[in-house]
Amino acid sequence: MTTLAHKKPRRKNIQHSDPGKILDLVMSLTDDTCSEIQIKINTYLTEECEAELVVPVIVHRERKEAFVEVVGIAALQRKMKIHLSSKLLDTLKTNVEQTDLLSNFGEDFQSILIPHLGKDIIKKRLVLFAVIDVPFSVIFCIVAPKTEESSVPVIIYECGLFVWPTLKKTIALEYENTLKVKCQQLLRVAKRLFTQVASLDTLLKIAMGQAKQLTKAEQCIVWLVDVDNMQLYESCSTYKDESSGRRFPLGMGIAGEVIKTGALINTRVPQEHPAYNPVIDGIPNLECRNLLCFPIREQTGIIGVGQLINKITDPYFDGMDEEMALAFSIYCGVCILHSVVYQKIQEAHIRNALANELIMYHMKVSWQTETARIGCFSSF
């Protein structure tokens, strides 16, 4: 037992790869950006596998999100989100290489690779092998390797043993930096909202506009709860349509489901959600491709629901959008409550001022004048 407890960790063995080349690769991974590190890894794998192209797919396994930011030695202008196809999921689940033709992959994945490939694109063979970790993993897609197919996953595995720790930390760092920027944007949004509590309509319009910018959504709707009539109503809208000011029963559609459960719902295909109702879950004459629906809360409970419709730059709303929506909903709920209270105070102030004016007026009018006026009216 003592011998086993103090047993040294097993060394990472290399069978097919050149240790000198891997060492040179690891020593060169000093770049600040994830894309530059991926380009160097791609260059190494392309040479070792004699491949036409190498494409790493970064995957967040828990959220089932995937993106590509480098194709071969070319960095894309931005991270391109893709759907996790069955082939990619099988690669993650089985931890065994998968081989298939490019034509059998999703259209979003094909559209990223096709501009970087030559002739006979449809017949291109891909070998996939994953380096699995938590929360991020990476699937290396080797396009048309000329080396023996059985050695490709071994080369990827041996490379991943040494380069993945650096790549993983860089991915996590960029994620945290992006989250920091989003939080700073959120604070600026909150600051602007708190200066607009004088008018609820103005506040809601600004809130919807800021929510769209924050998550890059095509449209945003805010439904408020009418407790007396048990309805959801749209007090204002950012689109011009005769249907603005709509009212629906409280439990209708995905919005109603969010009211019931108090949980955020992010659906990539809204039409497949059991609670989906096109009448309330969307905007007339606008196709709802994806939907992020979140509760708007204040201290007493849920006072409304926000709906973000159609992610502009990506095929779906991701986990960071969910975090931003939930944080935004808290600020929005506080501002709505303050706006309602402010309007009630304003109305009370107006009533009080009017009552004071009437009292002052009657105090200034003499009894004789009042009697004369009463007599004048009674003569009619």
Judged against a pLDDT cut of 90, whether residue 299 lies above it is answered with no
Percent of the chain with pLDDT over 90: 62
Q: Which residues pair with 65 in a beta bridge?
A: 60
Judged against a pLDDT cut of 80, whether residue 242 lies above it is answered with no
Within this chain, domains 14-176 and 195-343 share the same CATH topology:
yes
Q: 143 and 126 in contact (C-beta within 8 Å)?
A: yes
- Averaged over 180-187, what is the pLDDT? 92
- Averaged over 346-352, what is the pLDDT? 84
Superfamily of domain 14-176: GAF domain (3.30.450.40)
Judged against a pLDDT cut of 60, whether residue 10 lies above it is answered with no
pLDDT at res. 377:
52
Specify the 3-state DSSP secondary structure of 142: strand
Q: 203 and 196 in contact (C-beta within 8 Å)?
A: yes
Judged against a pLDDT cut of 80, whether residue 241 lies above it is answered with no
The owner of tokens 């590190």 is 37
User: How far is Cα 378 from Cα 375, in angstroms, rounded to an integer?
Assistant: 5
Percent of the chain with pLDDT over 70: 90
pLDDT at res. 352:
86
Q: State CA 77 to chain mean position distance.
A: 19
Q: What is the dihedral of CA 13, 18, 23, 29, to 10 degrees?
A: -110
> 131: number of CA atoms within 13 Å, CB side?
22
State the pLDDT confidence band at 197, using cuts at 50, 70 and 90. confident
pLDDT at res. 340:
81
Could you report the per-residue pLDDT of 108-118, keeping only the tens digit for each?
999 999 999 87
Across the chain, mean pLDDT equals 88
User: How far is Cα 326 from Cα 186, in angstroms, rounded to an integer?
Assistant: 11
Could you report the per-residue pLDDT of 128-159, keeping only the tens digit for each?
999 999 999 999 999 999 998 889 999 999 99
Domain locations along the chain: 14-176, 195-343
Residue 226 tokens read as 């009418």
State the pLDDT confidence band at 82, using cuts at 50, 70 and 90. very high
pLDDT at res. 368:
67
CATH number of 195-343: 3.30.450.40
DSSP string, 73-138: TEEEEEEEEE---HHHHHHHHH-S-EEEEGGGS-HHHHHHHGGG--S--TT-EEEEEEE--SSEEE
User: How far is Cα 237 from Cα 244, in angstroms, rounded to an integer?
Assistant: 6
